[in-house]
C-alpha cells in the first residue's frame, strides 16, 4: 500500500503484514549469524569461547559483554535458544525495529553487566539472557502502555512459557548462568519502562 508525502512523493504505509515480514527477516538474519558463528567456533575447537566469552570481574571481561551472547557452549545450547529467540524477537518486532533494538540492546547490556558483577568463576556464553530480556519485555510492556491487547498477549505468553522464569533464581547447577537470565530480564523491564514514556514532540518546520 502506498501513501504520499506533502510534496506528492509516494511512500509505503507501515502495515502489520509489512512489519511481520520485516520482523522475520531481522530475527532470521540474527539467528543465522549465531549459527555461522557456531560453525566457526566448532571448527576452532571452541577457542572463541575462551577469547570472547564473558569473564566476570575481569577488566578484559568488560569488552566480553558485547560478544558473549553470540557464542554458545555447543550446538544443543544454541538449539535451546533458537526457538524462543525467534518467537519473542518476532513478537517484539511487530511493534517496530526501534522497539526491538531498544529491548535487545538493554537486555544484552544488563545481562552482561550482571554476569560481570556477580557471575561465577566460569566463562559465560549464550544468548539466553537475550531470551529472558525479550520475554520479560513482552510480559510487562502492556501494563506500562495500558494496552489491553499487549496485556492479553503477556497473559498468553506467561501461561505458555512462564515456567522459564525459574531460570532467574540462583541455582546450584554450575553450567546455567542464572545471573545472565536475571540481568536480561531486568534489561527487558527497563526497556518497557523507557519505551512507555511519552516522546518529546519535535518542533515542526514552518511552511
Q: Binning pLDDT at 50, 70 and 90, where does residue 142 land?
A: very high
State the pTM of this model: 0.87
Given 3-state DSSP classes, what are the helix, strand and coil percentages for the chain, each rounded to the nearest 5? Answer: 70, 5, 30
- pLDDT of 21: 84
Domain ranges of the chain: 13-196
Residues with Cβ within 8 Å of residue 189, at least 6 apart in sequence: 136, 137, 140
Angle (deg, nearest 10), helices 178-196 and 97-118: 140
DSSP 174: T
Q: Binning pLDDT at 50, 70 and 90, where does residue 176 land?
A: confident
CATH superfamily of 13-196: Rhomboid-like (1.20.1540.10)
Amino acid at each position: 500500500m502506498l501513501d504520499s508525502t506533502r510534496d506528492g512523493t509516494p511512500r509505503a504505509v507501515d502495515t502489520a503484514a509489512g512489519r511481520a515480514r520485516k520482523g522475520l527477516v531481522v530475527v532470521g538474519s540474527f539467528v543465522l549469524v549465531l549459527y555461522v558463528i557456531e560453525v566457526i567456533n566448532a571448527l576452532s575447537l571452541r577457542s572463541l569461547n575462551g577469547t570472547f566469552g564473558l569473564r566476570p570481574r575481569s577488566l578484559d571481561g568488560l569488552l566480553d559483554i558485547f560478544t558473549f551472547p553470540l557464542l554458545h557452549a555447543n550446538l544443543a545450547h544454541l538449539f535451546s535458544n533458537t526457538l524462543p529467540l525467534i518467537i519473542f524477537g518476532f513478537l517484539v518486532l511487530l511493534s517496530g525495529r526501534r522497539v526491538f533494538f531498544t529491548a535487545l540492546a538493554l537486555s544484552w547490556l544488563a545481562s552482561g553487566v550482571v554476569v560481570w558483577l556477580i557471575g561465577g568463576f566460569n566463562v559465560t556464553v549464550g544468548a539466553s539472557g537475550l531470551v529472558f530480556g525479550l520475554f520479560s519485555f513482552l510480559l510487562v510492556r502492556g501494563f506500562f502502555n495500558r494496552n489491553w491487547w499487549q496485556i492479553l498477549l503477556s497473559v498468553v505468553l506467561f501461561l505458555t512459557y512462564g515456567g522459564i522464569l525459574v531460570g532467574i533464581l540462583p541455582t546450584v547447577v554450575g553450567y546455567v548462568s542464572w545471573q545472565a537470565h536475571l540481568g536480561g530480564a531486568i534489561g527487558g523491564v527497563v526497556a518497557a519502562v523507557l519505551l512507555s514514556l511519552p516522546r518529546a514532540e519535535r518542533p515542526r518546520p514552518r511552511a
